[in-house]
Amino acid sequence: MKKRIAILTGGGDCPGLNAVIRAVSKKAMFEYGMEVLGVEDGYEGLVENRFRKLENSHVSGILTLGGTILGTSNKADPYRWAVSKDGKTEDRSKEVFQNIQKMDIDCLVCVGGDGTLAVAQKLFNDGVPVVCVPKTIDNDLYGTDITFGFDSAVAVATEGIDRLHTTAQSHHRVMIIEVMGRNAGWIALYAGVAGGGDIILIPEIPYDLEKIVQKVEERGKTGKRFSIVVAAEGARPVGGKVVIKKIVKDSPEPVRLGGVSFILADQIEQKAGLETRAVVLGHLQRGGSPTAFDRVLATRLGTKAVDMIVRQEFGFMAGVRCNSLVSVPLAEVAKGSKSVPLDYPLIQSARAVGTCFGD
């Protein structure tokens, strides 16, 4: 019998999503003669029965496009479906099972980060054949060395740092650039090193304000009257807490981080006596065309997912380990957020060239 699969993209948007949709669809159609359905707006479309058939013409020419042609939602969770903005939820997973049976779907391909994959694991445990592809600019998923979208986000952040260098140097200022990453410092670390950041602040290493000020002053004494600080949105002081921008009660992940750069800017300006400015890159890191690396990685992971479907490796995620593609149990992926290890080689390399981590 001809297999019919469905693919959805959940959580935040990310460069490379369309490349995965293209890879899964084309390989499924061309090599195995499968029928491919697209689920609109992630799990929201799965609950509301919004499917559309994907033809080759729909997925051609989308490799370089940012975003996702299927749409996405970072609030929809069939098991905790928001019914009001004050946080009340209800379980609508039964509707998902009914819709999957109605559409005669043999496998559901879920492309997303930890939230999307956590729901996918629940669906699998309840009997839905699921195969997953890891997506997040934060690179914080267990089970894979790297996720597509990360390289693109680092490229944008690095360009931002490069541009801040010239204005910081011209005006003799301290410039703080705040990048995404939630509670993991991967983007800040890689972009900070690539952009020559003088100070890199990541959640894994709580910072001491005095050490930051000391670094800025030391640079001034050697004739360098400017400094670049790269701060992860989840950076926090020793003994302190992260800065929360807002709480979204009707979201499975209600806490939104942001604003640590503005607090730091005021503190550094007062203590060091240097004009300090803060720039928050925000969603610029999510948008635009994926890098060549992410296009290739997304294509590799997408085609790997189809092979997993054929082998009936349900309940697994396609991942990367030591540059080889592997199948990873969703139970392993659900361990939590993958942080930057304190002995990570890039941290050691950064320290070796004089980078301060605020400790």
The residues near 110 (Cβ < 8 Å, ≥ 6 apart) are 8, 10, 116, 117, 119, 120, 123, 130, 131, 132, 133
Q: Do residues 339 and 140 make contact, with C-beta atoms less than 8 angstroms apart?
A: yes
Return the closest-CA partner of residue 209 out of 185, 182, 183, 176. Answer: 176
Q: Do residues 320 and 302 make contact, with C-beta atoms less than 8 angstroms apart?
A: no
Distances (CA, A) of 7 to 49, 68, 320: 13, 12, 20
Give the number of C-alpha atoms closer than 13 A to the C-alpha of residue 75, restricted to the C-beta side: 15
List of E strands, the chain: 4-9, 35-39, 51-54, 81-82, 89-90, 107-112, 130-134, 174-179, 199-201, 227-232, 244-247, 255-257, 276-280, 316-321, 324-329
d(CA 356, CA 359): 7
**Angle, CA of 323, 327 and 330, to the nearest 5°:** 125
What are the contacts of 54-63 at 24+ separation with CB within 8 A? 54/7, 54/21, 54/25, 56/25, 56/26, 56/29, 58/25, 59/21, 59/22, 59/25, 59/26, 60/22, 62/18, 62/19, 62/21, 62/22, 63/18, 63/19, 63/22, 63/295, 63/299
The dihedral of CA 159, 162, 166, 171: what is its sign? Answer: positive
Structure tokens at 43: 């799990």
User: Is 138 labeled as catalytic in the residue annotation?
Assistant: yes
Give the number of C-alpha atoms closer than 13 A to the C-alpha of residue 250, restricted to the C-beta side: 8
* Active-site entry in 41, 77, 114, 138: 138
- The residues that are catalytic are 138
